[in-house]
Amino acid sequence: MKVDFPLILVNFKTYRESLGQKGLELARAAERVSNETGICIAVAPQTPDLFRVASSVGIPVFSQHADPDDPGAHTGGVTPESLKEAGVSGTLLNHSERRLRLDIIEETLRRCSCVGLLTCVCANTPLAGRALASFGPDMIAIEPPELIGSGIPVSKARPEVVGDSVRLIKGISNSVHVLCGAGITSGEDVSAAIKLGAEGVLVASGIVKAGNPLKALMDLADHSVPR
Amino acid sequence: MKVDFPLILVNFKTYRESLGQKGLELARAAERVSNETGICIAVAPQTPDLFRVASSVGIPVFSQHADPDDPGAHTGGVTPESLKEAGVSGTLLNHSERRLRLDIIEETLRRCSCVGLLTCVCANTPLAGRALASFGPDMIAIEPPELIGSGIPVSKARPEVVGDSVRLIKGISNSVHVLCGAGITSGEDVSAAIKLGAEGVLVASGIVKAGNPLKALMDLADHSVPR
Amino acid sequence: MKVDFPLILVNFKTYRESLGQKGLELARAAERVSNETGICIAVAPQTPDLFRVASSVGIPVFSQHADPDDPGAHTGGVTPESLKEAGVSGTLLNHSERRLRLDIIEETLRRCSCVGLLTCVCANTPLAGRALASFGPDMIAIEPPELIGSGIPVSKARPEVVGDSVRLIKGISNSVHVLCGAGITSGEDVSAAIKLGAEGVLVASGIVKAGNPLKALMDLADHSVPR
Amino acid sequence: MKVDFPLILVNFKTYRESLGQKGLELARAAERVSNETGICIAVAPQTPDLFRVASSVGIPVFSQHADPDDPGAHTGGVTPESLKEAGVSGTLLNHSERRLRLDIIEETLRRCSCVGLLTCVCANTPLAGRALASFGPDMIAIEPPELIGSGIPVSKARPEVVGDSVRLIKGISNSVHVLCGAGITSGEDVSAAIKLGAEGVLVASGIVKAGNPLKALMDLADHSVPR
């Protein structure tokens, strides 16, 4: 399944609020908002739930991580093939909570590309974003780690981080899409991000732990279109 | 779901032959052999397939790995809670293809125990087995790494490894069950293991890559009862 | 160089106060206190300073870490051979700030033993201490991580941790010496540790960052003999 | 101490032939060749030998690795400050035998720069080289891992790797110097590298394990000047 931009990518992390059946309901809420607004929303459920969610909803499902292991003797590995087979469309890589070695990132991107999985690599700084652009992932998500989960939106607190990232990444490759994340909870934060050149947002606690995730997502989606 | 001993635990690894639908069929073959022979067979499918398999078969399903992360901001983590929620009964830990830090093993065992997941920790040597017994996991699987995938069964090539492990581990705690693995492919290898005091076997390629996994499993199960 | 018990082992960590020339002076202070009191004091300087300190003082010098790599193509590895060659007598392993995989600990202990390096493995809990005893290191240092650098001495705040560790470790092997650490700053803390059965202490900030390290060490040494 | 280009950087790894006193002699041979030829030669001794070598020779001494840890509670860490204090001029980072996380590379480069240590980051591919150029290290050394220690020189077996790397890295920043390595043993290999645009070579076994390292280094140095 392809993604469109602007994209709202919801990282379920391992929150209790996104576990199993609750994760499925959250994914269905995302599907409903996507259908009603026409904005592309992708979800990244917990790993053991991937097949369950991917076989139940009609929106793109991402893994939160992938290993570069090929099909073989790699106990515990999450291979691109196993994700593809589970109906998954893409994967996050190098999230601040699961940082990877540079060579592993390059190799995993290559493996995902072979298998036909979309890739969204996380970067903590604009320079790291530019570095990652070198490998031509589908998306790069800029997230200053200190703002993750803070409720202080990167797009308002550190607009230069978003702007610089867009400029540096596009300077390497125009075909890499730039998302931003960290502290995004409201539609206003999304508007601000899009004005700065971001093509979408990576969100987590702001949606997963919202009192009413459907309403929170609707607010994000409503503000995702440049006016 | 509880396990009984002797136990045959089939690690699907990330082999192409155990991917997705094929993994489900393999699990169903294991279920059939278990039902026909009365021998407990557990399966450890690829991580994205865990819910799919666990919700389809009536035998214990294990994860190949678990992280100690609690429900929270741990992108990509495979938490005990997410496994439990997916219908999983237990988990492998510290397999030679996914070795763990000592403190992480202790913490993950504690977390799994809280959540009610069975644990089978792998050890490469009898002394490592004794060390792990200190933490009171449900099972310890002794596997000399050099024999893994070799087709040379530990129970015949290095019987002293199995015997020493049983003695050392039971010397620490009688309630820890000892399995052995590496190179196990035939019923004879299982008989030999059980004669040495093992309470089951951990198998992988010998079953997953067998021409006829059902027949291969039937052979193992037939030889799992001490005569 | 051999160590005697009770032992005071001073971990220099990477503190600014123990860098280069300052580390050398700290080691000389330790040597002086050792000579005056007859209590064995060992020092663990920063890695690039090992030769410098080991060739300048007449007390045992430890590394803060060792890798299991054999002499060969292991860029950046700190091999047992390179430590031995630098005049080092032993090494810390698995400190809470540098935790290791279980199999790596076993292999590194084996390598150090071959080369003739003493080993002091750190453990965060009495059960981890018992686990490590399985491999027969020369020493095990129990350190509850939450007390490290706290100034709250393990020997007073959690005496049962020390007592349980001594009992469990000696239950596996009488020849493993048990140290304790975390929060130790005064002679009283040392007395308390020794009364609980510890055969020495592992100290760091309490000495390295003391206004007068020589005086602080003298206080520890004076209280290291059971009265 | 500054480096000049063309640069010959000799990585001692943890070879038995470069241990302690032998490492010192190897460094002195490098110093002699450098003095006689006027070509800059830097050496990267084993970590515990850094002070010993740096205080004995008048050529630049590099560490084989550095950690980003600041002076503080980081047992076993090799901090930029501890290297500087030991008289070290620079450090290798991300060697194929010690790969690092992307965020750790960025942070370590920042730390080394603050402290005044030169940096030479290794890359396995031209794209990884371009990625690393983003952070502005002093040098990038391209080394296809499959050729390391092979005796098959990258500059002859895979000239396009060298040429592409130079072009891509200089496209990001003209001030990053490009070295190449892997399989380099003779002066001819060095000439070939320099013709392809490399500004020096990273060598290891070809020198360290040579029957006569001084002669081998002399051959490299003699061919380091473009004719």
**DSSP state string for D162-217:** HHHHHHHHHHH-TTSEEEEESS--SHHHHHHHHHTT--EEEESHHHHTSSSHHHHH
Distance CA D12, CA D3 (A): 18
Chain A interface disruption, residue of D104, D134, D135, D173, most A CBs within 10 A: D134
**Token pair recorded at residue A174:** 């125009």
Chain A residue whose CA is closest to B65: A76
Give pLDDT, residue C184.
Answer: 87
Which of C14, C70, C115, C208 best tests the D interface by mutation, with the highest count of D CBs <10 A? C14
Instruction: Kindly give the pairing relationship between strand C62-63 and strand C90-93.
Output: parallel
Angle between helices C213-222 and C187-195 (to 10 degrees): 30
Q: Do B51 and A51 touch (CB under 8 A)?
A: yes
Buried b (16+ CB within 10 A) or exposed e, A104-143: bbbbbbbbbbebebbbbbbbbbbbbbbbbbbbebbbbbbb
Q: What is the predicted pLDDT for the residue at D182? A: 82
Q: How far apart are CA C42 and CA D164, in angstroms?
A: 52
Interface check A98 vs D, CB under 8 A:
no
Nearest Cβ partner for C128 among B103, B124, B128 = B103
Q: Give Cβ neighbours of residue B73 (< 8 Å, ≥ 6 apart).
A: A13, A14, A15, A97, A148, A149, A204, A205
Residues near D113 by beta carbon (within 8 Å), at least 6 away in sequence: D119
User: Strand (E) positions, chain B?
Assistant: 7-11, 40-44, 62-63, 90-93, 118-123, 139-142, 177-181, 200-203
Q: Is the pLDDT of residue A152 over 90?
A: no
Q: Is C65 on the interface with D (CB under 8 A)?
A: yes
**Ramachandran assignment for D21, one of left (phi > 0), alpha (psi -120 to 50 degrees), beta (any other):** alpha
B146 included as an active-site residue? no
Q: How far is CA B185 from CA A12, A154, B26, B33, B148, in A?
A: 40, 55, 16, 16, 11
Q: What value does the mean pLDDT take over residues B204-217?
A: 94
Rg (CA), chain B: 16
Q: Is A125 left (phi over 0), alpha (psi -120 to 50) or beta?
A: beta
What pLDDT score was predicted for residue A226?
58
3-state helix vs strand vs coil in chain D, percent to 5: 45, 15, 40
CA–CA gap between residue B12 and residue B168 (Å, rounded): 29
- How would residue B117 be classed by pLDDT, with cut points 50, 70 and 90? very high
Q: Does residue A37 have a pLDDT over 70?
A: yes
List chain A residues with CB under 8 Å of D105: 102
CB-nearest to D51 from C51, C64, C92 is C51
Confidence bin at B226 (pLDDT 50/70/90): low
- For chain B, report the end-to-end CA distance as a whole number of angstroms: 27
Active site residue D143: yes
Angle at which helix B213-222 crosses helix B187-195, to 10 degrees, equals 30
Mean pLDDT score of chain C: 94
What is the count of residue pairs from A and D with beta carbons less than 8 Å apart? 60
Scan residues 205-224 of A and list those with Cβ closer than 8 Å to B. Answer: 205
Q: Minimal Cα distance from A105: which residue of D?
A: D102
Q: How far apart are CA B147 and CA B161, in angstroms?
A: 12
Which chain B residue shows the shortest CA-CA distance from A10? B75
B141 close contact with C: CB closer than 8 A: no
Q: Report the residue of chain B nearest A49, measured CA to CA.
A: B51
For helices B126-133 and C126-133, angle between their N-to-C axes, nearest 10 degrees: 160
Residue C163: exposure state from Cβ atoms within 10 A (0-12, 13-18, ≥19): middle
Judged by a CB distance cut-off of 8 A, whether residue B98 touches chain C is no
Q: List CB contacts (< 8 A) between D104 and chain A.
A: 99
Q: Which of B125, B131, B168 sits opposite C132 (nearest CB)?
A: B131
Q: Is chain A touching chain B, with at least 3 CB–CB pairs below 8 Å? A: yes
Question: Cβ(C143)–Cβ(C122) under 8 Å?
Answer: yes
> Are residues C127 and B134, on separate chains, in Cβ contact within 8 Å?
yes
Cα–Cα distance for residue pair A74/A93, rounded to 1 Å: 19
Tell me the C-alpha to C-alpha distance, in Å, between residue A135 and each of A102, A161, C188, D103, D179: 10, 21, 59, 16, 21
Whether residue B187 contacts residue B223, with contact meaning beta carbons closer than 8 Å, is answered with yes
**Rounded to an integer, what distance in angstroms lies between the CA atom of residue B43 and that of residue B90?**
10
Residue C142, number of CB atoms within 10 A of its CB: 29
pLDDT of res. A204: 94
Give CA–CA dist B37/B45, Å, rounded.
Answer: 22
Q: Which two structure tokens, joined as six digits, stand for C142?
A: 């129990």
A164-221 pLDDT, tens digit per residue, is: 999 999 999 999 999 998 888 889 889 999 999 999 999 999 999 999 999 999 999 9
**How would you class D167 by CB atoms within 10 Å of its CB: exposed for 0-12, middle for 13-18, buried for 19 or more?**
middle
User: What residues 16-55 of chain B have any CB closer than 8 A to a CB of chain A?
Assistant: 16, 19-21, 46-52
Beta bridge partners of B179: B141
Does the beta-carbon distance from D64 to C81 stay under 8 Å? no
Residue C154 has pLDDT above 90, yes or no: no
Cis peptide before B6 (omega within 30 of 0): yes
Spatial neighbors of A157 by CB under 8 A, at least 6 apart, are A147, A183
Domains parsed from chain D with CATH numbers: 7-222 (3.20.20.70)
Q: Which residues of B touch C106 (CB under 8 A)?
A: 124-125, 127-128, 131
Q: Which residues of C touch B98 (CB under 8 A)?
A: none
What is the tens place of the pLDDT at every residue in A68-77?
999 999 999 9
Spell out the residues 6+ positions from residue C63 whose beta carbon is closer than 8 angstroms to its own.
Answer: C44, C47, C50, C78, C83, C88, C90, C91, C92, D48
User: Are the CB atoms for D79 and C46 separated by under 8 Å?
Assistant: yes
Higher pLDDT, C147 or C34: C34
Which position among A36, A85, A95, A106 bears the catalytic label? Answer: A95
| Other Cβ atoms within 10 Å of D151 Cβ, number | 13
Cα separation, A54 vs B174, whole angstroms: 44
Contact list in C for residue B132 (CB cut-off 8 A) is 102, 131
Per-residue pLDDT of chain D (227 residues; tens, 9 = 90+): 899 999 999 999 999 999 999 999 999 999 999 999 999 999 999 999 999 999 999 999 999 999 999 999 999 999 999 999 999 999 999 999 999 999 999 999 999 999 999 999 999 999 999 999 999 999 999 998 888 778 888 888 889 999 999 999 999 999 999 999 888 888 988 999 999 999 999 999 999 999 999 999 999 999 887 54
How confident is residue C2, by pLDDT bands cut at 50, 70 and 90?
A: very high
Q: What is the ipTM of this complex?
A: 0.94
Mutate to test the interface with D, among A65, A95, A109, A134 (most CBs of D within 10 A): A134
Nearest alpha-carbon partner for A86 in D29, B86, D133, D86: B86
The pLDDT of A84-92, averaged and rounded, is: 97
Q: Alpha carbon B14 to chain centroid distance? A: 15
End-to-end CA distance of chain D: 27
* Contact of chains D and C by CB distance (3 or more pairs under 8 angstroms): yes
Residues in contact with C215: Cβ distance below 8 Å, sequence separation at least 6, in sequence order: none
Q: Which of B16, B20, B76 faces A86 most closely, judged by CB atoms?
A: B20
Return d(Cα A155, Cα A168) in angstroms, integer. 17
Q: How confident is the model at residue C132 (pLDDT cuts 50, 70, 90)?
A: very high
Residue type, C31: E
Confidence of residue B213 (pLDDT cuts 50, 70, 90): very high
Phi, psi angle pair for D216, to nearest 5°? -65, -40
* Nearest residue, CB atoms, A99 vs list D101, D128, D131: D101
Nearest C-alpha in B relative to A149:
B73
Q: Is D10 on the interface with A (CB under 8 A)?
A: no
Calpha distance A24→D110 (Å, rounded):
43
Strands C62-63 and D139-142 come out as: unpaired
Angle between helices C213-222 and C20-37 (to 10 degrees): 30
Enter the pTM of the model.
Answer: 0.96
Beta strands in chain C, from DSSP E residues, in sequence order: 7-11, 40-44, 62-63, 90-93, 118-123, 139-142, 177-181, 200-203
Residue of A nearest to D98 (CA): A101
